[in-house]
Amino acid sequence: MAILKTVESKFFQTEIPYKPMGKYVHFLTIRITESYPLFQTDAELNKARVRAGVKDKTTISRLSMFKRKQSTPERLVGRELLRNYGLMTAEECEYNVNFAMDNPDCIIYGFAIGDSGSEKSKVVVDTAFSITAFDESHETFTLNAPYENGTMASKGENGSKPGEVTSRINQQDHIRPQVFFPSIVTLKDPTEASFLYVFNNILRTRHYGAQTTRTGRVRNELIGVVFADGEITSNLRWTQTIYDQMKSNNTINPPDPLDEDDVITAAKNAIEALMADEFIVHTDFIGDAFVSLINEVKTLTGSEKGIQAILQKADAEAKDYAKKHISKKKTTAKAGKE
């Protein structure tokens, strides 16, 4: 029985197929930093040199948010919920350590275990690029680690000399608040439950980037979903089109942060223009058409009954899929281990 009323059931698979069947749903999100997150690998923020816009061909450095830095926190949110509602235990499935291979997280987001096989992810996320250039989107902070009294001067702790100033000091670049990352999350062959599972994960994830800093607050502003029979435009092209629009409207005024309303308007216009160029079959829920859908989803995921129903359905589908297509291999793989 269908859970959603605002989306026709023809956009969904009735069960998780074992082969790609060419149904796609694309979640269009703008990821907005609300604090000072860190996306870095080699002690330096990730950035990419690309053209500013499609029309404006000057190259600029943009901050970038790698795919896994987006999908991992979203996966972990879903896993947390599965455990909370008793559909998975920490012992039977541990992320990147020991995948149980039969729950929604494993089946929808995929796994790879050397000798037990691999499940391809049905969720594909691409690197997201900031609309504004790197120079105006980051700040350098000095970090210190003060003593108990809150100062950097020693009172003689741990045999140090009283009055000595500690050298526990460091510098670190952070991404500023109100930096915007347009990002499309693609889900292949969605069932209604897997669509809602991924949708909920995107809506609920609040922190991205380095976990130890406690500063990675990011809000996902969903501006629409597109059901299609193939891939749609890239994050880069979308970002560049938004940039062109905002530039021609004079709404990019560094060093001021971008205005969120301007960004959302430009993002909607840009994606509508880009979707008009695609030569695939697609049904777009953007703007007014999206309001009733997101409200319905939020009502569902906002109640214990609603979220439980989604998780249970997703879990049942994953178990069903695993039983049909994985379980035989799994037992042989297990038997092969020492």
Partner 1 sequence: MVFIYHCQIELHDSLYYATREIGRLYETEPIIHNYALCYALGLVDSQIYSTTVAEEHSYRYFCPEQVPKYEEHLTPLNQQEIYVTPARSLNHCSILNTWKYANNNYHVEMEKTQKNIPSFGRAKEIAAESRFEFFVISQKELKLPKWIRLGKWMSKAEVTVEPLPKPKIAEGIFTCTHPLNPLDVMFTNQVISYDVVNMPPVSLIQNVKMQGQYYQFDGIQNLKIPVRIEYRFRS
Task: Assess 122 for contact with partner 1 (CB under 8 A).
Answer: yes
Size of the site for partner 1 (CB under 8 A): 47
Of 3 and 50, which CB lies nearer to partner 1 in the complex structure? 50
CB of 172 to partner 1, least distance (A): 16
Task: Assess 118 for contact with partner 1 (CB under 8 A).
Answer: yes
Binding span for partner 1 by CB under 8 A among 115-123, 144-152, 167-175, 264-272: 115-123
CB of 58 to partner 1, least distance (A): 13
Task: Assess 249 for contact with partner 1 (CB under 8 A).
Answer: no
Q: Give the closest residue to 127 by CA, choosing from 65, 210, 40.
A: 65
User: According to CB under 8 A, which one of 51, 206, 217, 282 is a site residue for partner 1?
Assistant: 51
Euclidean distance between CA atoms 313 and 194, whole angstroms: 9
- Identify residues 286-315 at the interface with partner 1 (CB under 8 A): none
Q: Give the closest residue to 252 by CA, choosing from 58, 52, 65.
A: 52
Euclidean distance between CA atoms 27 and 10, whole angstroms: 18
Task: Assess 319 for contact with partner 1 (CB under 8 A).
Answer: no
Q: What is the DSSP letter of 326?
A: I
Q: What are the Cα distances from residue 1, in Å, to 5, 108, 191, 196, 313?
A: 11, 21, 12, 14, 10
Task: Assess 326 for contact with partner 1 (CB under 8 A).
Answer: yes
Peptide bond into 17 cis (omega under 30): no
- Cβ-contact 239, 247 below 8 angstroms: no
CB of 244 to partner 1, least distance (A): 16
Euclidean distance between CA atoms 263 and 252, whole angstroms: 10
Of 232 and 258, which CB lies nearer to partner 1 in the complex structure? 232
- Identify residues 81-110 at the interface with partner 1 (CB under 8 A): 94-97
- Cβ-contact 218, 158 below 8 angstroms: no
User: According to CB under 8 A, which one of 32, 133, 185, 236 is a site residue for partner 1?
Assistant: 236
Residue 188's DSSP bridge partners are 24
For 241, how many CA atoms within 13 A lie in the half-sphere containing its CB? 20
CB of 145 to partner 1, least distance (A): 17
Task: Assess 204 for contact with partner 1 (CB under 8 A).
Answer: no
- Cβ-contact 77, 201 below 8 angstroms: yes
Residues at the interface with partner 1 (CB under 8 A): 17-20, 41-42, 46, 48-51, 66-68, 72, 76, 79, 94-97, 114, 117-120, 122, 124, 126-127, 211-212, 230-237, 278-280, 325-326, 329, 333
